[in-house]
Amino acid sequence: MNNTPLHITPPHSTHDHGSHVDEEDGEEVHETPIPEQGSGSTRYPIRPLGKKASKRKESVSKNDYGKYMQELAHQGELTLARELAKYEAEKVRDEAKATAIQQAFQAEQRKKELLRQERELLREERITQRNRDIMNTRLEGMSSNSKYFWQSEKADVVQRRCAREARSRQDGPSTTRQDDPNTTYWLSGDE
């Protein structure tokens, strides 16, 4: 017979079925592998799924949906827990801020009260000193009008003193008020 072989393999093919070398360029060219239908693989469907496989796939998708819903509920719970923790932290921070503001307000009120008490003590000292000066005023050598004025001032000092003592003993209202317009404070320059 002929010396011609029955089966001729092209010279550029190799037996590894994954690649061949192009003789002109000397580059290795990879061939696309033939897709194989694996269990559950839908990447390269060769034939349609049967009824049993279709039912299995449907039940898997229902299970996936259930898992998805459970995960979604879990994520919702986590989000709710984070929001609740954030709310609690803000609440604690706001309470701390309110407490700090309240303490600052109380400190300011105490400071104002101390200043008021100090002013009141200074006022009492000035009144006491003025009353001493009035009581120590000598009436010798004064005109009759001046004597009358200083005698009435001394009488007012005594009356205010008696009223203050009565008020402190009874803690009740006095008959003479220090802010009464009839009381004269023209010597002090205050009030």
The model carries a pTM of 0.39
Give per-residue pLDDT as tens, 51-94: 777 666 666 666 677 788 888 889 999 999 999 999 999 999 99
- The mean pLDDT of 42-48, rounded to a whole number, is 62
Please report where in the chains the tokens 């009488």 appear, as a residue. Answer: 155
Percentage of the chain modeled with pLDDT above 90: 35
Give per-residue pLDDT as tens, 100-137: 999 999 999 999 999 999 999 999 999 999 989 988 88
Q: Which residue has the higher pLDDT, 48 or 108?
A: 108
User: How much is the pLDDT for 173?
Assistant: 53
